[in-house]
Amino acid sequence: MFKKFTKEDVHSRSNIKSSAQRGLKTKFVDQFEDLEPVIDNIIPKKSQAILIKCEDKIQLYSVENEVVLFQHFDDLIPTLKIVHKYPQCFPRVQVDRGAIKFVLSGANIMCPGLTSAGAKLPEENLEVDTIVTIYAEGKENALAVGKLVMSTDEIKSKNKGIGIELLHYLGDGLWTLSE
């Protein structure tokens, strides 16, 4: 999504109303329940969030000069900077080492990369369309954020085709976008 993303894709930026900001926070917490204790650190109560509208109906929300999350249709997706800060708050999957190279060039994640020896899927089932953070074998930080196109149970049983649609990864246009 952000493979080719530059300043030119930004259409407008505007401050959002505080009520909209509150709504945004509740929505974000609804989506990731574990966020509740830290949401006020991510988006402080008194802060002014900025809405940055971009190409392809992407909306970025920035707080204190740092993009904290973005919205694509109804999904709220945290940026990797936030994922790195609060890794425990998001569902996580792990890919094997062979896949890192491809993930870092923006490829969608194929099922075998999620089921092989070096990879890890959570025990409990994650539903389709869940936003997951993607880790890699032997690394402690997340390297990408994606959206499940199959439930994890299905990934395990089918083991073929695209399992996660990649949304945001290290080194993409959003990562390098300086505010």
Partner 1 sequence: MTEVVAREVYYCGVCSFPPEYCEFGVSLKRCKDWLQDNNQELFDKIYSDDALATQTSTLSIERQEKISQELAKKQLKEEAKQERELQKKLASKVLIKRIERNRRKHIISISGLEVFNIDMKKLAKTFASKFATGASVTKTADKKEEILVQGDVSDEAKEYIEKLLEEQGLNGVEVEQVDEKKKKKATAPGATPAA
Q: Which residues lie near partner 1 (CB under 8 A)?
A: 7, 37-38, 40-41, 84-87, 96-98, 100-101, 104, 117-118, 137-141, 143, 170-171, 175-176
119 within 8 A of 134, measured Cβ to Cβ: no
Nearer of residues 42 and 150 to partner 1, judged by Cβ: 42
Nearer of residues 6 and 18 to partner 1, judged by Cβ: 6
Q: How far is the CB of 141 from partner 1 (least distance, A)?
A: 4
Q: Alpha-carbon distance 96 to 110, whole Å?
A: 11
Q: Alpha-carbon distance 70 to 118, whole Å?
A: 30
> 150 exposed, middle or buried (CB, 10 Å; 0-12, 13-18, 19+)?
buried
80 within 8 A of 103, measured Cβ to Cβ: no
Q: How far is the CB of 126 from partner 1 (least distance, A)?
A: 23
β-strand pairing of 144-148 with 66-72 = unpaired
Q: What is the dihedral of CA 92, 127, 27, 131, to 10 degrees?
A: 40
Nearer of residues 91 and 171 to partner 1, judged by Cβ: 171
Give the number of residues written for the chain.
Answer: 179
Q: How far is the CB of 31 from partner 1 (least distance, A)?
A: 18
Q: How far is the CB of 171 from partner 1 (least distance, A)?
A: 7
Q: Alpha-carbon distance 62 to 123, whole Å?
A: 34
Nearer of residues 141 and 157 to partner 1, judged by Cβ: 141
- Type of residue at 127: E
Q: How far is the CB of 78 from partner 1 (least distance, A)?
A: 13
Q: How far is the CB of 102 from partner 1 (least distance, A)?
A: 10
Nearer of residues 150 and 168 to partner 1, judged by Cβ: 168
Nearer of residues 144 and 150 to partner 1, judged by Cβ: 144
